[in-house]
Amino acid sequence: MEVRDKVIIVTGASGGIGLATARLLAERGARLALVARSKDKLEALAAELPGSAAIPADMTRPDEIADMVAETEKRFGGIDVLVNNAGQGYDASMEHIDLEDFGHIVQLDVVGPLVAMQRVAPVMRRGGVGAIVNVSSGLALMAMPGMSPYSAAKRALVGLSLTARAELSGDGIVVSLVYPYATMTDFEANTIKASGEEDEESERHSGGGFPPDSADYVAQLILEAIETGAAEVFAHDWMNKPR
Ligand SMILES: NC(=O)c1ccc[n+]([C@@H]2O[C@H](COP(=O)([O-])OP(=O)(O)OC[C@H]3O[C@@H](n4cnc5c(N)ncnc54)[C@H](OP(=O)(O)O)[C@@H]3O)[C@@H](O)[C@H]2O)c1
């Protein structure tokens, strides 16, 4: 889908990959609903990007997601694209997974994107066309010790996305996945860490010897997913292997 003049929701637009994506899409002429919890950051960004609006929402809250989608449709008159990018990591070995922390990560990384898809699908169906891009992770494709909670959440998002793609294809709605690898954002700082396991942190987040990507690079991948409608877009070819 060509993004010029399209109405695009970008979640997690207050920083990192979402911020870079919002700037890139605005540069290409899209009209943006900027979503995250940080109202001040969103309002500053909306002032910078013509045709965009700050629509704060906590993506762990289904009621706030519903309000955000309704507000976007009301302000812009429709929704063409949803970029489900807001997310957070949680590092813990399997034996030390705290169920409350795991529940939070699943709520943000899986349930939030699901609810957003459920809410935008009818709007897109009415418009006759739509694109949904869900941001997963390279860790959904591998078994990295100490990262199972995040890997599990991002794998669940893969299952939801590929199945939704099949379900919605007859309605003109294309669902895609983007798999970033280690990317230079505040992600690591924002990752929840199991107590006593912080020491292995830097090694696990080092990117396995590969240099980390920039947020601008991942934003280009998200644009590519919208434009091509590819089922899966990988940050690096080597990530696309049988699993
Ligand atoms: N960076 C990496 O190495 C990497 C690798 C693979 C995949 N990813 C994925 O890429 C996506 C973006 O991550 P990032 O690297 O840009 O991380 P980041 O710099 O930590 O940014 C996270 C974004 O999500 C928003 N967010 C967090 N909790 C939220 C909530 N409850 N409700 C609404 N928004 C929320 C944050 O805004 P507020 O705090 O203002 O709410 C922020 O805008 C995530 O899905 C992440 O899992 C990142």
**Residue 184 near residue 212 (C-beta atoms within 8 A):** yes
Cα distance between residue 20 and residue 71, in whole Å: 23
**Residue 96 near residue 197 (C-beta atoms within 8 A):** yes
* The amino acid at 93: S
Write out pLDDT tens, residues 80-139: 999 999 999 999 999 999 999 999 999 999 999 999 999 999 999 999 999 999 999 999
Say if ligand 1 is within 6 A of residue 15 CB: yes
pLDDT at 48: 98
Is 217 a residue of the active site? no
Exposure letters 189-222 (e unless 16+ CB within 10 A, then b): eebbbbeeeeeeeeebbeeeeeebbebebbbebb
Distance 86 CA to ligand 1 centre (A): 4
Cα distance between residue 118 and residue 94, in whole Å: 31
Q: Positive or negative, the Cα torsion across 229, 58, 42, 154?
A: negative
Domains of the chain listed by start with CATH number: 7-235 (3.40.50.720)
Distance 15 CA to ligand 1 centre (A): 7
pLDDT at 180: 98
CA dihedral 4, 58, 133, 240 (to 10 degrees): 140
CA distances to 35, 51, 208 from 227, rounded to whole Å, are 21, 20, 30
pLDDT at 195: 80
Exposure on the CB side of residue 120, measured as CA atoms within 13 A: 32
The bridge status of strand 7-11 relative to strand 232-234 is unpaired
Compute the average pLDDT of residues 194-210: 65
> Residue 191 belongs to what H/E stretch?
none
Distance 83 CA to ligand 1 centre (A): 12
Query: What number does the ligand 1 atom closest to the CA of 84 have?
Result: 45
Write out pLDDT tens, residues 5-54: 999 999 999 999 999 999 999 999 999 999 999 999 999 999 999 999 99
pLDDT value at 165 more than 60: yes
Close Cβ partners of 2 (under 8 Å, ≥ 6 residues apart): 227
Say if ligand 1 is within 6 A of residue 186 CB: yes
Query: What number does the ligand 1 atom closest to the CA of 205 have?
Result: 3
pLDDT at 209: 73
pLDDT value at 203 more than 60: no
Query: What number does the ligand 1 atom closest to the CA of 154 have?
Result: 47
